[in-house]
Structure 1
């Protein structure tokens, strides 16, 4: 599963088992990402809360767009763990594999609305050249039709996957799918 042994449900403390049960009931399975955090119940709970609130709750951005942004960022970062996860999730959401592959490998060729493409361009710049982000970058998102809540949420998704991509690579996580 990774270079650092995970904590299986059988080995887990009661507190960690409760969190694993939540994941199983609400996410359909316990991702290896969270099994790897099973040694620290508080950190595990914090990560589950963060991912649940950012990615699965309906806020300013539709869930499908958040998943697509996560896939674009994971593709840029060449995160094999996160790429596999988001390709699977988008497939379950009904997105054609060919579209998801384009998002992962060359998002600029993906058939998406111009408004969404602008969000991907912003995510790309924030991922590759974060020191170069300026107010005009945010203004372009507004001009494309995104409000401040959606912009803030998109920055949070990009930031979350900057962390997740590096965490999964750093411990050698094996993909769930």
Structure 2
């Protein structure tokens, strides 16, 4: 069996209580522990900060739907060649969008995916932040404003793209493996 990380993976029961409780709650809800929790728990203080920021970006209500937030993750993670995040967040996207095809479409080529023009503009900007943030300028904001995004939504798009650039790099550094459970999730329409 291939290890889930090239770094040591702690036993959940040996983790500080707050992390152990958080991870076991995820296991209770999903039926398994996503490998990202185990791999990043190698450094508990960093894992806490990572998951707190993840939740602040991905679990809040706001101008982007939770499915749109996952679209950003899948598109930028594909561009960053992050197998873990494409597979794991692809599963979440399929579930949140209630569409078994959307994650594969977004991961391969969002321009040809079954998305609105607004969502395609969102992903174009997210990819620019992910690949060449130094080139972001007023014209990018104007293009997003034309699609109805306000500055708070633009912040969210950029922050998600930037955070997952970090996540993608850590997943690749650690050689993090996606859980097998993710591959089938959300594939059958409900």
> Above 0.5 in TM-score?
yes
Q: Secondary structure of 1:175's partner?
A: coil
Q: Secondary structure of 1:30's partner?
A: coil
Task: Tell me if the contact between 2:76 and 2:130 (Cα under 8 Å) persists in the aligned partners.
Answer: yes
Of 60, 72, 76, which aligns to 1:73?
A: 76
Of the structure 1 ranges 39-48 and 24-33, higher mean CA displacement relative to structure 2 is found in 24-33
Task: Tell me if the contact between 1:15 and 1:41 (Cα under 8 Å) persists in the aligned partners.
Answer: no
Which residue in 1 is equivalent to 2:22? 19
How far apart, CA to CA, are the structure 2 residues paired with 1:22 and 1:150? 30
Of the structure 1 ranges 126-135 and 103-112, higher mean CA displacement relative to structure 2 is found in 126-135
Post-superposition CA distance 1:25-82 (Å, at most 9, x none): 5666432112122233322221121111211221221111000111110111111000
Q: Which runs of 4+ in 1 moved over 6 A?
A: none
Q: How does 1:3-152 map to 2 (within 5 A)?
A: 3-25=6-28, 29-152=32-155
Q: 1:149 to 1:165 in 2, by over 3 A?
A: same
User: Could you tell me the TM-score, scaled by structure 1's length?
Assistant: 0.91
How far apart, CA to CA, are the structure 2 residues paired with 1:141 and 1:35? 37
Task: Tell me if the contact between 1:67 and 1:90 (Cα under 8 Å) persists in the aligned partners.
Answer: yes
Q: 1:85 to 1:59 in 2, by over 3 A?
A: same
How many residue pairs get matched? 177
How far apart, CA to CA, are the structure 2 residues paired with 1:78 and 1:43? 23
Task: Tell me if the contact between 1:2 and 1:173 (Cα under 8 Å) persists in the aligned partners.
Answer: yes
How far apart, CA to CA, are the structure 2 residues paired with 1:87 and 1:12? 28
Uncovered stretches (5+) of structure 1, i.e. residues with no partner: none
Uncovered stretches (5+) of structure 2, i.e. residues with no partner: 183-190
